[in-house]
């Protein structure tokens, strides 16, 4: 793999202790690259950073309207949530309206990403169920679409299941990539994650920021999903999380999503641009700090928003006693001209 630039760094005392390299790209809805760092054409697995694209069929098929999904639930369909009560209860209620339950979800179970929720769950003598899985909202969207379209719900995670084929077709259109002919792997929650060039992911995100050239139906679906994420950031991630805080402080002008293995995407609504990045080492902290660096570099945040996000953009690293001993921050990549 070719060398990509340092996008984020971790300090301790006076030294930079660790660095995160990666590639990042900001593009227009026409696929024009506005700014790029490193190899922007590299094949990446988008992982969960593309959840908003995977949720389009839920709205476009009419499934969301049939089951009266509100903005909190549409946001959950695009979420990697922290397994807090607000997420888990909402997933259960939603599935109940569709006539299903979490036993129909094929995402598997894991302890909540939220440490507080894990401790509370363990204290209560319970164990995690599929509703606690960070992907349970996305999977609820899949099974809701399956029921609405008359598919057999079972096996909906499979590459050849109508639910996934619908997602793959929709994403191919949004990405300008024929995903049916791309290499793929299996994501943590069991569904396919299909390889694509990073720049195309930025283009698809730009089409979420500026859907003016999409078909009216696609435009409506995308606008509703973007608006839902902007309206309910805590449903997309969780209390106090980086992704949530970016969306809260940016007042919905930046709608973003982390993905496993160092992925991050952002929809820059005010600018009509899309952003995609991957840190080579696959770390969440690297992806988060890199996102901050790129957002600053392309002027996606106002001075006031940067001030409000100062604790997220430069994060204190503390020892067990709470003393600050270093920081996680975006690398000094400078300001891109023209922004």
The yes or no reply on residue 184 touching its own copies (CB under 8 A) is yes
For its own copies, which stretch binds (CB under 8 A), given 67-75, 180-188, 214-222, 308-316?
Answer: 180-188
* Euclidean distance between CA atoms 26 and 276, whole angstroms: 7
**Which has the closest alpha carbon to 37: 49, 18, 51, 20?**
20
Figure out which of the listed residues 74, 326, 329, 333 binds its own copies, where binding follows CB under 8 A.
Answer: 326
Figure out which of the listed residues 41, 71, 101, 109 binds its own copies, where binding follows CB under 8 A.
Answer: 109
* Euclidean distance between CA atoms 159 and 329, whole angstroms: 38
The residue to which tokens 């698809």 are assigned: 204
Strand partners, 35: 26
The residue to which tokens 């204190």 are assigned: 316
The yes or no reply on residue 322 touching its own copies (CB under 8 A) is yes
The yes or no reply on residue 178 touching its own copies (CB under 8 A) is no
The total of other beta-carbon atoms located within 10 Å of residue 55's CB is 30
CB of 185 to its own copies, least distance (A): 3
Sign of CA dihedral 91, 96, 102, 106: negative
CB of 187 to its own copies, least distance (A): 7
CB of 87 to its own copies, least distance (A): 16
The yes or no reply on residue 316 touching its own copies (CB under 8 A) is no
Figure out which of the listed residues 185, 217, 239, 240 binds its own copies, where binding follows CB under 8 A.
Answer: 185
The yes or no reply on residue 286 touching its own copies (CB under 8 A) is yes
Q: Binding to its own copies (CB under 8 A): which residues in 155-174?
A: none
For its own copies, which stretch binds (CB under 8 A), given 3-11, 204-212, 245-253, 296-304?
Answer: 3-11
For its own copies, which stretch binds (CB under 8 A), given 52-60, 122-130, 229-237, 305-313?
Answer: 122-130
For its own copies, which stretch binds (CB under 8 A), given 90-98, 105-113, 268-276, 290-298?
Answer: 105-113
Q: How many residues bind its own copies (CB under 8 A)?
A: 55
CB of 130 to its own copies, least distance (A): 9
CB of 166 to its own copies, least distance (A): 21
CB of 331 to its own copies, least distance (A): 10
Phi, psi torsion values for 267, nearest 5 degrees: -105, 110
Strand partners, 79: none
The yes or no reply on residue 43 touching its own copies (CB under 8 A) is yes
* Contact assessment for residue 304 and residue 291, using Cβ atoms and an 8 Å cutoff: no
Between 15 and 337, name the residue whose CB sits nearer to its own copies: 15
Between 196 and 206, name the residue whose CB sits nearer to its own copies: 196
Between 26 and 107, name the residue whose CB sits nearer to its own copies: 107
Binding residues for its own copies, rule: CB under 8 A, are: 1, 3, 6, 10, 12-21, 43-45, 106-111, 115, 118-119, 122-123, 125, 133, 183-190, 193, 195, 261-262, 279-283, 286, 319-323, 325-326
């Amino acid at each position: 793999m070719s060398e990509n630039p340092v996008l984020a760094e971790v300090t301790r005392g006076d030294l930079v202790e660790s660095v995160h390299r990666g590639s990042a790209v900001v593009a227009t809805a026409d696929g024009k690259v506005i700014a790029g760092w490193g190899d922007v054409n590299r094949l990446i697995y988008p992982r969960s950073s593309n959840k908003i694209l995977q949720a389009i069929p839920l709205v476009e098929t009419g499934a969301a309207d049939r089951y009266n999904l509100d903005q909190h639930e549409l946001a959950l369909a695009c979420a990697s949530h922290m397994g807090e009560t607000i997420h888990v209860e909402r997933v259960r209620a939603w599935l109940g309206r569709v006539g299903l339950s979490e036993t129909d979800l094929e995402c598997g179970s894991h302890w909540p990403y939220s440490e507080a929720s894990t401790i509370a769950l363990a204290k209560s003598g319970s164990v995690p169920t599929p509703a606690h899985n960070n992907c349970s909202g996305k999977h609820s969207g899949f099974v809701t679409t399956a029921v609405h379209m008359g598919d057999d719900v079972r096996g909906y995670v499979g590459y050849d299941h109508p639910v996934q084929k619908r997602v793959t077709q929709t994403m191919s259109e949004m990405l300008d990539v024929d995903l049916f002919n791309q290499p793929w792997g299996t994501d943590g929650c069991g569904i396919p994650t299909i390889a694509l060039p990073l720049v195309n992911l930025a283009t698809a995100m730009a089409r979420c920021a500026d859907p003016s050239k999409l078909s009216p139906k696609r435009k409506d679906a995308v606008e509703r999903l973007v608006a839902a994420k902007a309206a309910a950031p805590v449903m997309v991630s969780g209390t106090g999380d980086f992704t949530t805080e970016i969306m809260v402080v940016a007042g919905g002008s930046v709608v973003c999503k982390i993905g496993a293995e160092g992925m991050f995407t952002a929809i820059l609504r005010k600018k009509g641009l899309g952003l995609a990045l991957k840190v080579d080492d696959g770390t969440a902290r690297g992806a988060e700090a890199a996102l901050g660096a790129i957002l600053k570099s392309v002027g996606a945040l106002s001075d006031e928003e940067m001030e409000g996000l100062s604790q997220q953009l430069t994060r204190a690293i503390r020892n067990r006693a709470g003393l600050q001993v270093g920081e996680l921050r975006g690398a000094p990549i400078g300001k891109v001209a023209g922004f």
